Amino acid sequence: MSTKKGFTLIELLVVIAIIALLLAILMPALSKAKSIAQEILCKSNMHQYYLATELYANENDDRFPPAWRSLYRTTSSGCTWHDESQSPDVLPSNAGPYWPYISNKKLNVCPTLATFARKFGTNHPGHNSSIPIVPQFSYSMNGFITGTDSKGVKRSQINSSPSETFLWSEENMWKMKDADGTTILSNYVLNDNALVVRFFIDATDPIDSFASFHKVSKAKFSGQLPETPDGYGVYNTGSANALLLDGSNIVVTPQDSHRYMGRSTEQIDWR
């Protein structure tokens, strides 16, 4: 006579406990692997931006496209970066001179920004709640690598070292102060294709800085977010990717912004 054997309740609970333990061990490693993969993809995107920008310059008298109109010809509001209806794919008249040089439109969005945007994108200043958060671009061109006319600045008009001048980088969705709580790092946010680094003068003077959403834990990231969309976050840690004029892809912090701002020989009305 045979008897059927099965798991006892205790044995089943032990198996469940072991599986839970393994998941607890593996989840941080999987999360870290995902973060690293996103970082690699973001750097790859920026390398493609470099190749596309070089191609544009080669075909346009060695000029770079005007920063404010490089990807999008116009930016209608602070929501343009996540407003799908403003994309040149949907609105061809909004295509800037750089747009045709991007063969894969997915290159325009860093997956790390997309992750944070899904959770915190509605908190950016001036957000229109009727516009869904669907990131369309996340990289901004150096506002100093531009010109006083619609053609953009020539490479020969840039009088700063290519290894110390950024071409494209990332910026935050929120305004930020330094850790001292008083020094303004940025009072403008990701809302167009230009990142203009300047020393803070007063509250009416628009300044940008590099982003801080890479290489940061969720706990520390949430700690640097402002309490209200129009308020200021406080920088504590985190970084951005920056593409330099010489093709180097480096990691920078908001505090590095002035170091890599570069300069042009032209006088430009930044306002």
If one compares 1 and 21, the residue with the highest pLDDT of the two is 21
Q: Indicate the pLDDT class of residue 250, thresholds 50, 70 and 90.
A: very high
* Mean pLDDT along residues 59-85: 89
Q: What percent of the chain stands above pLDDT 90? A: 44
209 in a structural domain:
yes
Tokens 């892809």 locate to: 249
3-state secondary structure of 61: coil
Q: Which domain holds residue 225?
A: 13-260
pLDDT at 24: 66
171 in a structural domain:
yes
- C-alpha 138/C-alpha 155 separation (Å) is 24
Q: Which two tokens stand for residue 245?
A: 């004029």
137 in a structural domain:
yes
Is pLDDT above 60 for 47?
A: yes
Per the structure, the count of domains in the chain is 1
Sheet strand arrangement including 232-234: 184-186, 175-177, 232-234
188 in a structural domain:
yes
* Mean pLDDT along residues 8-17: 70
Q: Indicate the pLDDT class of residue 270, thresholds 50, 70 and 90.
A: very low
The tens digit of pLDDT for each residue in 174-208 reads 999 998 878 899 998 998 899 988 766 666 678 89
pLDDT at 231: 92
271 in a structural domain:
no
Spacing of C-alpha 71 from chain mean position: 14
List the one residue out of 215, 47, 72 whose CA is nearest residue 137.
Answer: 72
If one compares 23 and 19, the residue with the highest pLDDT of the two is 19
pLDDT at 5: 59
3-state secondary structure of 234: strand
pLDDT at 267: 46
The DSSP H or E segment spanning 265 is none
pLDDT at 271: 36
Task: Evaluate whether 230 touches 255 at the Cβ level (below 8 Å).
Answer: no
267 in a structural domain:
no
126 in a structural domain:
yes
269 in a structural domain:
no
Helix 9-59 with 111-120: angle, nearest 10 deg: 120
Is pLDDT above 80 for 149?
A: no
The tens digit of pLDDT for each residue in 103-147 reads 777 899 999 999 889 888 898 998 999 999 999 999 999 987 776
The tens digit of pLDDT for each residue in 150-164 reads 667 888 888 889 999
pLDDT at 206: 80
